Amino acid sequence: MKYRGMIFDFDGTLAATLRETRRIFNEIAPDYGIRPVGEEEIDMLRHLSLRELLDHLRIPKRRVPLLIARGTRMMRAKIATLPMIPGMADVVRTLRDRCECMGILTSNASSNVEAFLDAHGLLDHFDFISSTSKLTGKSRHLKAICKTFSLNHNEILYVGDELRDLKAARKAGVPMAAVTWGFNSRKSLAAENPDHLIERPDEFLRIVER
C-alpha cells in the first residue's frame, strides 16, 4: 500500500458528534457571555476557518481552552451512545489489516474516544489515541507519531474533516485526506487542495490499493 500508517481525526471524521457538540455549546455559552448557535447557521459556519468561526461567534481566544475542557467533560456522559459515521466501522476493520499502524489524533479527550470505540467494538483496531488540548496543536503530534513509529512523513495519511486538520498536516509535511461529511464543507476543503478529497468512506479502500 502507499501509506504504512493511517491517523484519523475523531469528531466529525469517525464519530457523528456535531449535533451533540452544538447542544453542549449552546448549554454552556451563556456562562461565558457567548451567544448560542442556531440550526439555521450550521451550513454557513461549515465554510469558515477556525479563526473566522471564532470571530463570527465572537468567542475570545482566551475562552477557548475552558470551553473545550468543559465541553469534553460534558460529552463523556453520552459519548458511548453517539453514532459512528455510516460505513466507517467496516472501513476501519478493513484498513486495520492493511496498515502497519493506525491511530487517532484528536482535540477531544482520550477517555471519550476510548469509550466511543469500545461501544462500537473498534478499540482494539487502533494502536494509539493521541489527544491535544489545543485546537491548533496537531502538527507537532503528527511529527512525533512519525518518529515513534519510524515512519517517513509521506508514509502516513492523516484523515480529518476540518480546515485546521489540513493546515496541521501541511505544517507537519504529512499527506492529508479530507472527508466531506464532517464540519467543514466540501467546497472549503477542496479549495485547500488536500491530497485526497473523500466523499464516501469506501473511497479509502481505493487509496490503499494504489
| φ/ψ (deg, to 5) at 118 | -65, -40
- Residue 2: what pLDDT? 80
DSSP letter string, the chain = ---SEEEE--BTTTB--HHHHHHHHHHHGGGGT-PPPPGGGHHHHTT--HHHHHHHHT--GGGHHHHHHHHHHHHTTTGGGSPBPTTHHHHHHHHHTT-SEEEEEESS-HHHHHHHHHHTT-GGG-SEEEE-SSTT-HHHHHHHHHHHTT--GGGEEEEESSHHHHHHHHHHT--EEEETTSSS-HHHHHTT--SEEESSTTHHHHHHH-
Contacts of 22 (CB under 8 A, 6+ apart): 37, 42
Torsion of CA 53, 57, 60, 65, to 10 degrees: -70
- Residue 206: what pLDDT? 85
Task: Exactly one of 9, 11, 161, 165 is catalytic; name it.
Answer: 9
> From CA 33, how far away is CA 160, in angstroms rounded?
30
- Residue 135: what pLDDT? 66
Whether 9 sits among the annotated catalytic residues: the reply is yes
Bridge-based pairing of strands 156-160 and 176-179 is parallel
List per-residue pLDDT tens for the chain, 210 residues long.
589 999 999 999 999 999 999 999 999 999 999 999 999 999 999 999 989 999 999 998 888 888 989 999 999 999 999 999 999 999 999 999 988 999 999 999 999 999 999 999 999 999 999 998 676 679 999 999 999 999 999 999 999 999 999 999 999 999 999 999 999 999 999 999 999 999 999 999 888 765
What's the topology of domain 5-16+81-209? Rossmann fold (3.40.50)
- Residue 16: what pLDDT? 97
